[in-house]
Structure 1
Amino acid sequence: MLEARDVTVVYEGTAVVDRVNLTLPEGPYGLGLIGESGSGKTTVARCLLGLVTPTHGTVLFRGADIGAMRQPGPYRRAVQIVVQDTEGALDPRMRIGTAITEVLRAHRMVPRGTERGRVAELLSDVGLSAEHAARYPHQLSGGQRQRAAIARALAVRPRFLVLDEPTSALDTVVQARILDLLHTLRTEHRLSLLLISHDLAVVEQLCRHVAVLHHGRIVDQGPLPDVLREPHHPATRSLRDAVPRLPP
């Protein structure tokens, strides 16, 4: 469904992303894009979203070059992002229900006058009540804000979600709940997920395949068990060895 072909991004003479090739089929499917800080993970994601134009290479959505689309509306609806910093992603002056309604109206997802009911459905899908629609972001916990951000992304019925470190700012218990929620939503909505993380333990819960990014290049790629069992690059071994393990 979504494909990056030889994507390269050069900033000030330096290739921060270098000839990256990725393929994400129709869901339910999960691909983990992992690497240490500064490896280029978020830049790759921004290229897939059409927010950064590659210096070289192309991004294809169902065979069409997204950079050449004359009407990108369907693509914008099909591909959504959930970011790490929900405090920055949600307008602090806007109630949660209003933020989701704004998306529904901008993309004409439901008839006028039915937005409130649809907002309640979306909040219910992510484990929030209709009462949360009247709250401002600062009145929610970190996990509730993340759920609200996921509900807003689902408002346009996407086929593909980019999850940029969606649990790194949450405590361990809330992390597990958000990951369980994403697993359920992936199955129910048949979503394709690109999970960006430096934590293999998080990736393992949502993704069967993984790509390891190091200095802008993919140095390991394949089914997650195979990559963990026989890593080809020292960067992969370092990420694997960084996962804490409890003694028997």
Structure 2
Amino acid sequence: MLELTGITAGYDRRDPVVRDVSLSVGHGEAVGLLGPSGCGKSTLARVAALLHRPDAGTMTLDGTVVRGWRHRAPQEQRTTVGVVFQQPRLSADPRLSLRELIAQPLRATGRRREVPGRVAELSSLVGLSAELLERRPHAVSDGQLQRACLARALVLRPKLLICDEMTAMLDASTTAALVAVVEAYRTESGAALLAVGHDRVLLERWCDRTVRWGERSVERVPVG
């Protein structure tokens, strides 16, 4: 499903954050990427989500080599991946209601007719009431906003979901609820998952396998 090979990436070519890293996620597989804050996990996740072009290395997504990132990526590849970030307030347009936030990818891809049914379905799945859907980000909690961001990530039915520290700012009950939503979606769709975090217990319970951040590559963590 996802194959990252020899990825080097960062924001200054003279001092990359990620150096020669390789990682794979199979079809329908849930992989946890474990590492401390600041090690480069989120940069690698942004590469995998087609949001950051690497300086070197190759990426294959659903059998096709990726040759463009961000707006240069074909729509078919962009819609293959859904992503949820750690800080929902940095990834949500403060001008939009939660309803509009969830619907945003559908409108952007010319699928406006699907908006009412899909938003109703996903808001129910993530636990957002009709009243909350009309609020803007400043008028809801971090947990409620993250529920909307997860619904937005699922609205185009991605084949790969990337959760980059999705639960780091949430309490235990909201964490459990959102993990359950992800697993319900994966059971129904067969989607793959890349879950990035520093909570080894959560990742090992959630994922089929967990890998840890190495000095030059991502290595498997022994389990058991």
Separation in structure 2 between the aligned mates of residue 132 and residue 166 of structure 1, nearest angstrom: 20
Q: Which residue of 2 aligns with 1:121?
A: 121
Task: Give SS of 2:17's match.
Answer: strand
**1:1-248 matches, cutoff 5 A:** 1-9=1-9, 11-27=12-28, 29-67=29-67, 72-111=74-113, 115-215=115-215, 217-218=217-218, 220-221=219-220, 227-229=222-224
Task: Give SS of 1:50's match.
Answer: coil
Kindly provide the CA deviation profile for residues 139-170 of structure 1, in whole angstroms up to 9, marking residues without a partner as x.
22222211110111111111111101011101
Contact 1:6 1:20 in 2 (8 A): yes
Separation in structure 2 between the aligned mates of residue 133 and residue 216 of structure 1, nearest angstrom: 44
Separation in structure 1 between the aligned mates of residue 68 and residue 83 of structure 2, nearest angstrom: 21
Question: How many residues end up aligned between the 2 structures?
Answer: 221
Separation in structure 2 between the aligned mates of residue 172 and residue 118 of structure 1, nearest angstrom: 27
Separation in structure 2 between the aligned mates of residue 82 and residue 71 of structure 1, nearest angstrom: 19
TM-score norm. by structure 2 comes to: 0.89
Name the Cα RMSD after superposition: 2.1
Task: Give SS of 2:180's match.
Answer: helix
Contact 1:179 1:205 in 2 (8 A): no
Separation in structure 1 between the aligned mates of residue 101 and residue 38 of structure 2, nearest angstrom: 31
Separation in structure 1 between the aligned mates of residue 59 and residue 111 of structure 2, nearest angstrom: 26
Contact 2:164 2:195 in 1 (8 A): yes
Separation in structure 2 between the aligned mates of residue 105 and residue 15 of structure 1, nearest angstrom: 35
Contact 2:34 2:197 in 1 (8 A): yes
Task: Assess, with a 3 A threshold, how the Cα gap between structure 1 residues 129 and 216 changes in structure 2: closer, same or farther.
Answer: farther
Deviation, 1:201, is 1.4
Deviation, 1:71, is 6.0
| Letter of the structure 2 residue corresponding to residue 104 of structure 1 | L
Task: Assess, with a 3 A threshold, how the Cα gap between structure 1 residues 62 and 118 changes in structure 2: closer, same or farther.
Answer: closer
Separation in structure 1 between the aligned mates of residue 143 and residue 68 of structure 2, nearest angstrom: 38
Deviation, 1:216, is 5.2
Task: Give unpaired runs (5+ residues) of structure 1.
Answer: 230-248
Task: Assess, with a 3 A threshold, how the Cα gap between structure 1 residues 16 and 102 changes in structure 2: closer, same or farther.
Answer: closer
Task: Give SS of 2:175's match.
Answer: helix
Greater mean deviation of Cα atoms: 98-107 or 69-78: 69-78
Task: Give SS of 1:228's match.
Answer: coil
Separation in structure 2 between the aligned mates of residue 16 and residue 37 of structure 1, nearest angstrom: 12
Task: Assess, with a 3 A threshold, how the Cα gap between structure 1 residues 216 and 130 changes in structure 2: closer, same or farther.
Answer: farther
Instruction: Report percent identity of matched pairs.
Output: 37
Task: Assess, with a 3 A threshold, how the Cα gap between structure 1 residues 163 and 48 changes in structure 2: closer, same or farther.
Answer: same
Contact 2:160 2:192 in 1 (8 A): yes
Which of the two has higher C-alpha Rg?
A: 1
Deviation, 1:202, is 1.5
| Letter of the structure 1 residue corresponding to residue 22 of structure 2 | N
TM-score norm. by structure 1 comes to: 0.81
